[in-house]
A and B are shown apart, each in its own frame.
Chain A
Amino acid sequence: MNNTIVLNIGRFLFLGLLQVLLFNHINFLGHINPYPYLLFILLFPLNPNRSVFLLLSFLLGLSIDMFSNSGGVHAASCLLIAFIRPIILRWIFGVSYEFQTLKFGNISPGELTLYLTLMIVTHHSCLFFLEVFNLNLLVLTLKKIAFSAIFTTILSMLFLIIFRRK
């Protein structure tokens, strides 16, 4: 149990630092950045104390906001996906999630990709609509959502493959 807490504190700091020092400055093709810090929320233990989980996600988003001068857009998006995570999990995994037998170790790659993509697209939609905050730039917003979501999903998959526990 203690191990889980240490692991998650480590992830919080490591992914947060990596995001603000490295991934916020990639600017691939001008303005495409990945946001792999979401892995903290995606990989959080499956049956957490929900209040703690919501607060931690909010804090993570707020720290990213503090570094990137973006008001509260990351905080709002992280909070949103932390809140809807049980709904998405129930929808994708059904019975095995409800009976608490689900573990990240034994999820099939297809289901894992679906879970990652859904969460990431939700987060990025919220993020970029709040960040642009202007419906006249709808096309630009949608483009940003699409490209960043692809980038984040690929990077997150890579992270998962590299750091998979044997």
Chain B
Amino acid sequence: MQQIVNFLIRNKNFLLFLLLLFISLALTIQSHTYHRSKFISSTNFISGGLYNWSASISDYLKLKEQNERLLEENKRLHNLLQNSQLDTLSIINHTNDSLAPVKTYHYSTARVINNSYNKPDNYLTINKGKHDSIIPDMGVITDKGIIGIIENTSHNYGRVISILNSNSRINAQLKKSEHYGSLIWNGKDPNIAQLEVIPRLAPVKIGDTIMTGGRSTIFPKGIPIGTISDYKLDVNDSYYLIDVKLFNDMTNIGFVYIIENRDAAEIKQLETGETPDE
């Protein structure tokens, strides 16, 4: 017993080193697994607050650019509205009609207060959290295209797993046919993502548009992602591996929209086969 105590005292620094190393390696390995890295994240009070403060300063420098983007988007939406068959009045009136079908997708806005794109696993921090009814597995987009998926929320802040993350897989398809695959990122260029398992039969051409596929409960169908910049067949010659040039400049994101799918719970329940009465 005496010897064990002596051994512990003599090697206390080494043992402390091993203990702390074990903790940090455990955290590291957790962070490389999807939906696990919840303990050390930037959504807590200290880092969220600090990022919010620094973002509120740097936002002033980008006001002009943000305004121009908003104007551009408004112009596009006005054009859509004027040229569609519906007239604006009927849309406004319908919202008060209790018999009208409930809208499936609901949009809200948030500000990005921290963004990274230089690592293989990137995250963004936004200034909306549980208090704003933001919950994990909601989609995040900008006016130009998709950004990622809400992964973790605290009371006032949320963490978004960016499409530039080796754990992220997003259902995507070609715009001109229904062939779909998953969008991943190989960790190299923040402007280029990869689309894999598109079957060989699909009509793939450089310059074609890629959009979300709507086969998950997160994103509605048809949100733009990017254009095909390069493609090649995989080793078995049966699937294409496509390089997608993203519409979004992932290095420059100010404000985002969060998409809530009101049917998500119902769809998930149906797919997993669990019924509430059991």
Contacts and interface: CB of A to CB of B under 8 A. Distances in A.
A83 B42 CA distance: 27
Contact of A51 (B12, B44, B251): B12
Interface residues of B, number: 43
Contacts of A69: 31, 37, 40-42, 116, 121-123, 125, 159
A72 B121 CA distance: 13
Contacts of A21: 50, 54
Interface residues of A, number: 37
Interface in A1-44: 17, 20-21, 24, 27, 30-33
A27 B25 contact: no
B13 interface: yes
B50 A80 contact: no
Contacts of B41: 66, 69
Contacts, number: 115
Contact of B42 (A67, A72, A73, A131): A67
B20 A79 contact: yes
Contact of B28 (A20, A30, A55, A71): A71
A55 B21 CA distance: 11
B110 interface: no
Given A27-B118, A66-B42, A75-B23, 11 more contacts: A20-B47, A55-B16, A67-B50, A67-B114, A70-B121, A71-B37, A72-B25, A72-B40, A75-B27, A76-B21, A134-B187
Interface of B: 12-13, 16-17, 20-21, 23-32, 37, 40-42, 44, 46-47, 50-51, 54, 114, 116-123, 125, 159, 166, 187-190, 251
